[in-house]
Amino acid sequence: MARRVYTLLLWLALPLIVLRLVWRARSEPRYLHHWGERFGLTRPRCRGPAIVVHAVSVGEVRAAQPLLTMLREQYPQYDVVLTCTTPTGRATALEVCASTALVVYLPYDFPWALRRFLEATRARLLIVMETEVWPNLMAVCAQRGLTAVLANARLSARSSARYGRVAALSAPAFASFARVAAQTEADARRLEACGARQVQVTGNLKFEVEPPPALLKQGAAWRAALGGRQVVLAASTRDGEEELVLAACAPLLADGVLLVLVPRHPPRFAAVAALARARGLVTHLRSEGTAERGTQVWIGDSMGEMPAYYALADCAYVGGSLLPFGGQNLIEAAACGCPVVVGPHTYNFADAAEAAIATGAALRVADADALASTVGELLGDDERRRAMASAALAFAAAHRGAGRRTLALIEPLLPRSP
């Protein structure tokens, strides 16, 4: 009954869904592209039966990357289809996964659209990354006898409480997964409380992603071109944080430090550049070329170059954590050997953040003022930065293995012969 009401509400909201796509396209034109995929009208061109992996956006796509490679190697007899929800996720997927998977949008959660999609792909296994759990998707999979796995699953206490408020709808969806691969014991407990069964702790797939050597080399070249100038990176910042970071780093910029700002969402690149210029700071964009000697703020308006920015920086603030957004992924910074500073709000990556702090790979600050003083201290202490860099690399290496464990969990569910 709950799912029927949900589906009816979804139908009633269809005009609003279309209007939202048009509205979002004002700042991100790619929302107007590939509408047929979003409504199950475009049939993916699969050669044979497929393994479908759903990764909603950029972070999930990057986490899925090593798993896609393993699936391609272990199951060459299947096509691999990677589905996304956001244009940035799709663009990232095409950039980093085009050689291992067919990239398309997952249709909206209308049963008829999902049936068309699953029929077209001849899906034999659905792997959903993290917590992108949709009631009709899971119901259609159950109706078709399609095995589904929730991989790299994480669930914060906040999200668990939200699911609890709609348990009549969410509990059957969680229970539909044949296996759940949780990142941590705490995630496993919360997932089970939401109705998930067969939950195993496999670790975080984001530790499997190794930075491409070419990008690390690129970052080192940028650094060499600056002639010894120190660099602070603010990575994956969210709306409202750039003002705090610019204000906090003003004394450092006056002393010649370069601030590299990489906003989380591409539509905000121009607005963040305007924000820096309004402060009278010499600001350039990555798309305009490399940072010049007189540049005070360099806006990272490129996709897929984050490892290069980490290799360039003396230390990095990982965004989404000064304000209550829950924090962004600090694992990539650690894998690049970059000392990390985070704010008080890291509930999206609570275990990874606490572990990084405990091993000396990261530091936590309470607010923007503390961020400024901590970054200033790090820039003045070469030995401490080197120790943090070594700790970061060791932290990243110690937590690898989630890919192998996840593949072992999947293997009994997928026949070798399609």
pLDDT above 70: residue 418: no
Residues 225, 147 share a domain? no
Q: Which residue bears the tokens 């709000």?
A: 345
> Does 317 fall in a domain?
yes
Asked about 60 being catalytic, the answer comes back as: yes
pLDDT above 80: residue 417: no
pLDDT tens-digit map of 232-251: 999 999 999 999 999 999 99
Catalytic one of 60, 242, 305, 332: 60
Question: What is the rounded distance in angstroms from the CA atom of residue 390 to the CA atom of residue 136?
Answer: 46
Over residues 73-93, the mean pLDDT reads 91
> Does 11 fall in a domain?
no
Residues 143, 119 share a domain? yes
Residues 192, 56 share a domain? yes
Under 8 Å between Cβ of 180 and 191: yes
Q: pTM of the full predicted structure?
A: 0.85
| Count of Cβ atoms closer than 10 Å to residue 259 Cβ | 27
> Does 14 fall in a domain?
no
Over residues 390-410, the mean pLDDT reads 95
Residues 371, 232 share a domain? yes
Residues 341, 261 share a domain? yes
Under 8 Å between Cβ of 188 and 182: yes
> Does 7 fall in a domain?
no
Which pLDDT does position 26 carry in this prediction? 83
Average pLDDT over all residues of the chain? 92
Which sign, positive or negative, has the C-alpha torsion 304, 305, 311, 315?
negative
Q: Tell me, what amino acid is at 412?
A: P
pLDDT tens-digit map of 126-172: 999 998 899 999 999 999 999 999 999 999 888 899 998 999 999 99
> Does 289 fall in a domain?
yes
**Which CATH number is 135's domain given?**
3.40.50.11720
Residues 384, 243 share a domain? yes
Residues 231, 172 share a domain? no
> Does 350 fall in a domain?
yes
* Number of structural domains the chain divides into: 2
Residues 160, 46 share a domain? yes
pLDDT above 80: residue 416: no
Residues 6+ apart with CB under 8 A from 89: 55, 56, 57, 58, 60, 61
pLDDT tens-digit map of 178-225: 999 999 999 999 999 999 999 999 999 999 988 999 999 999 999 999
Residues 220, 198 share a domain? no
Residues 237, 372 share a domain? yes
Residues 285, 261 share a domain? yes
Over residues 313-334, the mean pLDDT reads 95
Residues 263, 188 share a domain? no
pLDDT tens-digit map of 51-69: 999 999 888 998 999 999 9
Q: Which domain holds residue 393?
A: 213-398
**Which CATH number is 262's domain given?**
3.40.50.2000
> Does 354 fall in a domain?
yes
The stretches of 287-330 forming alpha helices (DSSP H) are 306-312
> Does 100 fall in a domain?
yes
pLDDT above 80: residue 77: yes
